[in-house]
Amino acid sequence: MTQTTSSTETQGSDHRLLGALKRSYSLIQALGVLVLLIILMQVANERFLSPINISNLLGQMTVMLIVAAGMTVIMISGEFDVAVGAVVGLSAAVAGWLLVRWMPVATAADQQTWVILVGVLVPLLVGPAIGIFAGLVVTKAHIPSFIVTLGTLMMARSLTLVVTQGQPIPDIPEPIRAFGQGRWVNLPLPFDFSGFTESGALADLFMWLPIQNIVWVAVVVYAIGWFLLERTTFGKRVYAVGSNRTVAMLSGIRADRIKIYCFMIVGFTASLAGVVSVSRLGAVSPNTGEGLEFEVIAAVVIGGTSLSGGQGRILRSIIGVIIIALTRNFLNLARIEVFWQGFATGTIILAAVLLEALQRRISGRQ
Amino acid sequence: MQPSSVLLDCTGIVKSFAAVRALRGVDFAVTAGRVRGLVGENGAGKSTLTKIIAGLYPPDAGTIRLGGTPVRFGGADDALDKGIVTVHQDINLVQTMTVAENLFLNNEPTRGFGIIRRRQMHESAERLLGQYEIDVSPDAVVSELPNDLKKMVQIAKAVSLQPRVLLLDEPTSSLTEAEVRVALRLIRSLAESGVGIVLISHYLNEIFEVCDDLTVMRDGQVVADGPIAETTLPAVVSAMVGRDVVTTRRDKSRSAEDDRPPLMTVQNLSVAGRLKAISFSLWPGEVLGVTGLAGSGLDELARAVFGASGSSKTSGRVTVDGTPIPPGNPPASLAAGIALLTSDRLREGILPAFTLVDNICLPVLPRFANRLGVLDRKAMVETSERNIIRLNVRTPGPYALARQLSGGNQQKVLFAKWLETEPRVFVMDEPTIGIDVGSKAEIRDIIDEIAAAGVGIVLVTTELEELVSLCDRVLVMFRGAIVAELTGEAIEREAILHASAGGVESKAVPA
């Protein structure tokens, strides 16, 4: 509402182009940082762009990817959820407990399928349940979501210790481990010239990238998330509520209900990530997901989602996650002490917030 | 539907807020196919009435009939469902979404399961915009549109909901002349299609141009009602103002026409899109009133004169005692002896969690500091107490927190704060807004006293009472420009209303 022009002329096409460039500034910036990082990584270690390393990296960032999808939704609605890491941990713990401690060791083979199904599906309800609770407190008692989810964070962490008794749960059943650790599909990526020049075979022109199965879970999450946000009335309502709650309510949108749904969605993605991490690691550690929340928020912000809600694109969060994961990987490759990791992540979070302020100034929005 | 059927019929509507009776038994009807104007001064009860009709407030007493059956609205969405659509004065669009997304927000065409028919939405938006001659792409992001286009999109959105009753609250206040024409045509054509329309506007010439019926409100009551053909613009103005108002004029002994040079001159002060070539002079001891309708640029004028608007958008020259004041540099303005009392007391004025001492002494802290920067608390308290007595601030003591005080007393604290800077020019933006009647009178006395001490005062206000009783001269603004200057006996309510509502008198009454 601070427009100062009162002209009724249509804006010129060059103006429109400039506008489009300004709007996609955050995307250009994120992609720029990503390319820069990749170059840096490749220089630091020439094996970085090898199929096996890329495949491993993708597997490692899957948990963060899944949670970032839900975090994007809740942040577009104008709220936060800092409990996601703890919910990942609690869901993993519940899955581990159901699969290992609840299921008797000598379960008959025909019953095992059934137990596994319970062990995978029931933990998926943990996040939505916590989400309803947090959403109700935030919307009905008008308490900032940061504080409310700080509360649910501590509760979920504590429950995780109760469920696991503070001990790791090893020996997750084989079918689940087989899925989580398998790479059943190879994806052809074009142009691995070294192989082609050696053999001359057409198949060697491609770099065959083995994709960990869990990565497909993230792909499905982002496909659904994109469709939900960009193509459905629910998505429009999420953007509207996050951008201007009053306008949304005057349009007849039940803003509180939309926010509660968003809390359930982010909770669901955290639970899903918890189950995925169980299947990937084949075990549950009581501190699964610790510190994940801030890395995820940083990733989402780097992807261009506004801290104040109403703006953001879910697919861009993928770029943010990759940037965070690569930074961590870079520290390993560069043989920097592990103690510096928190410092690096903190720097990235601050840089992300500063970049958001810069983006706002460049795109001229309030 | 018969052309003369009554769609909405309110009888005996009463509404109170705490001790204030906003509506005292109002009857109001909207007829299908007709435009009803609703006019009255600020605080007459127009917006309370429309908010009740739009379902935002429940009435304390009285009945609302919709198509003959009594209704009680459960909220804004309930009234919306029943076909009562409101276009609010402030632009109610989601700034980050596109025009098409806004037009169909919460009303998107879907294929079931909430999946949006995007092409259909785009085409419907294009058709709707074309129908009302709104030259904007459905894919344009709202935040990048100029205000007038935003307002047109907002009206188009309301129309797309296919209202039975359409409430328009000051729809033209942010529009340019050309846009006003389009908007008024749109209102007429909607009425012809059978919609019952309520048009709230301060622009009386527009009211006379498009309305079929007119309701005039004053002090929470309907004081005139009937077909517009049976009344005249002067009759409406005097009904709005009322005849029982006794105004005490201040002593006009301080004349602006003496030979002294002006204290402040403003030449061609412009702010892109907001203010157009404002020029005036201010003499010592003069109270210069500046008035106009909401949106006519009053806030901008106050800020620009003080030098608080962005320097890149501002042009023109402000001098105090012949010395030019750089634009966009509040410290320089303060040093030159200009003070600005902002209209938004809570957000831009008082520091609610600070004590009165800290509030009052804030701009003049260096005066109380020794060379090491340590403050002399005792002197600060003495200064504050002197002001508390002088301005009659009702407070438990100088160490009370500002938020413990009533609005009127907070305003007096702000006066104390700026008076401590010993201003030569005091710009006041709505100094009595939102405060009780008693404090209003006291603050008017304070303004009088300050002027008597030789300070030049720019009093920006929409209160007619204040203009008539306090000012030596009054400038009337209309859409960012000064359109009239009234002095002495010419400062009277009717003249001010005429000028504010659309410029010169001859233009105000259409044939």
CATH annotation of A53-362: 1.10.3470
pLDDT of the residue at B369: 85
Dist. CA A279–CA A182, nearest whole Å: 10
Tell me if residue A221 falls in helix, strand or coil: helix
Contacts 24+ apart (CB under 8 A), B479-485: B479/B176, B479/B177, B479/B295, B479/B296, B479/B297, B480/B273, B480/B274, B480/B275, B480/B276, B480/B296, B480/B297, B480/B300, B481/B275, B481/B276, B481/B277, B481/B278, B481/B297, B482/B278, B482/B279, B482/B280, B485/B280
* Interface touch A8/B149, C-beta < 8 Å: yes
Q: Which residues of B touch A231 (CB under 8 A)?
A: 115-116, 118
Average of pLDDT values for A252-279?
94
> Residue B80: which of A23, A247, A252 has the nearest Cβ?
A252
Q: At A89, which amino acid appears?
A: G
Dist. CA A326–CA A117, nearest whole Å: 34
pLDDT of the residue at A19: 67
**Minimal C-alpha gap between A342 and chain B (Å):** 34
> Residue A243: which of B86, B90, B94 has the nearest Cβ?
B94
Checking if the pLDDT of A362 tops 80, the result is no
Number of H helices, E strands in chain B: 19, 20
A218 sits in which H/E element: helix A213-231
Q: Which residues of A touch B92 (CB under 8 A)?
A: 246-247, 250
Checking if the pLDDT of A226 tops 60, the result is yes
B424 sits in which H/E element: none
Q: Interior CA angle at B38 toward B33 and B41, to 5°?
A: 170
**Minimal C-alpha gap between B54 and chain A (Å):** 10
pLDDT of the residue at B287: 92
Q: By a Cβ cutoff of 8 Å, what residues of chain A touch chain B?
A: 1, 3-8, 10, 19, 23, 231-234, 236-237, 239-240, 243-244, 246-253, 310-311, 365-366
**Minimal C-alpha gap between B289 and chain A (Å):** 26
pLDDT of the residue at B96: 87
pLDDT of the residue at A104: 61
Interface test with B, best of A11, A233, A257, A308 (most B CBs within 10 A): A233
Checking if the pLDDT of A44 tops 50, the result is yes
* Interface touch B106/A4, C-beta < 8 Å: no
Task: For A38-93, give the secondary structure using H, E and C.
Answer: HHHHHHHCCCCCCHHHHHHHHHHCHHHHHHHHHHHHHHHCCCCCCCHHHHHHHHHH
pLDDT of the residue at A165: 92
Q: Which residues of A touch B97 (CB under 8 A)?
A: 236, 239-240, 243
Burial class (CB in 10 A: 0-12, 13-18, 19+), B385: middle
Residue ranges and CATH numbers for the domains of chain B are 6-241 (3.40.50.300), 275-503 (3.40.50.300)
Window from A198-207, A329-338, B269-278, B375-384 with minimum mean pLDDT:
A198-207
> Residue B146: which of A6, A240, A244 has the nearest Cβ?
A6
Window from A68-82, A94-108, A137-151, A245-259 with minimum mean pLDDT:
A94-108
**Minimal C-alpha gap between A246 and chain B (Å):** 8
In which band, very low, low, confident or very high, does the pLDDT at A10 lie, cut at 50, 70 and 90? Answer: very low
- Looking at per-residue pLDDT, the higher value among B30 and A363 belongs to B30
* Interface touch B116/A239, C-beta < 8 Å: no
**Minimal C-alpha gap between A229 and chain B (Å):** 10
Interface test with A, best of B56, B96, B99, B133 (most A CBs within 10 A): B96
Handedness of CA B156, B161, B164, B170 (dihedral sign): negative
A14 sits in which H/E element: helix A13-23
pLDDT of the residue at B508: 37
> Residue A243: which of B97, B149, B274 has the nearest Cβ?
B97
Average of pLDDT values for A307-315?
89
pLDDT of the residue at B503: 54
Domain boundaries, chain A: 53-362
Given a contact cutoff of 8 angstroms between Cβ atoms, the answer to whether B219 and B41 are in contact is no
If we measure between CA atoms, which residue out of B148, B152, B144 comes closest to residue B175? Answer: B148
In which band, very low, low, confident or very high, does the pLDDT at A103 lie, cut at 50, 70 and 90? Answer: low
* Interface touch A251/B105, C-beta < 8 Å: yes
Given a contact cutoff of 8 angstroms between Cβ atoms, the answer to whether B14 and B40 are in contact is no
Beta bridge partners of A159: none
The parts of chain B modelled with pLDDT lower than 70 are: 1-4, 18-20, 42-43, 174, 176, 243-259, 310-311, 436-437, 503-511
pLDDT of the residue at A2: 39
Q: At B185, which amino acid appears?
A: R
Q: Which residues of A touch B273 (CB under 8 A)?
A: 3-6
Residue with tokens 């009463």: B14
**Minimal C-alpha gap between A11 and chain B (Å):** 9
* Interface touch A6/B116, C-beta < 8 Å: no
Closest-CA residue of B relative to A250 is B76
Window from A28-37, A54-63, A225-234 with minimum mean pLDDT:
A28-37
Dist. CA B251–CA B247, nearest whole Å: 12
The pLDDT tens digits of the residues spanning B302-311 come to 989 988 876 6
Checking if the pLDDT of A278 tops 90, the result is yes
> Residue A233: which of B116, B147, B273 has the nearest Cβ?
B116
Provide the CB-side half-sphere exposure for B15 (13 A, CA).
25
pLDDT of the residue at A8: 37
* Interface touch B106/A240, C-beta < 8 Å: yes
Hey, what's the torsion of the CAs at B414, B416, B421, B427, to 10 degrees?
50
pLDDT of the residue at B245: 44
pLDDT of the residue at B40: 84
Average of pLDDT values for A271-288?
94
Number of other CB atoms surrounding residue B457 within 10 Å? 23
Which of B168-180 are b and which e, b meaning 16 or more Cβ less than 10 Å from the residue's Cβ? bbbbbbbbbeebb
Name the strands in the sheet holding B20-31, side by side, starting at the edge strand that comes first in the sequence: B20-31, B6-17, B61-66, B69-71
* Interface touch A232/B92, C-beta < 8 Å: no
Q: By a Cβ cutoff of 8 Å, what residues of chain B touch chain A?
A: 76-77, 80-81, 86, 88, 90-97, 101, 105-108, 110, 113-116, 118, 135-136, 141, 143-150, 176, 178-179, 271-274, 313
**Minimal C-alpha gap between B229 and chain A (Å):** 34
Checking if the pLDDT of A71 tops 80, the result is yes
Dist. CA A250–CA B76, nearest whole Å: 7
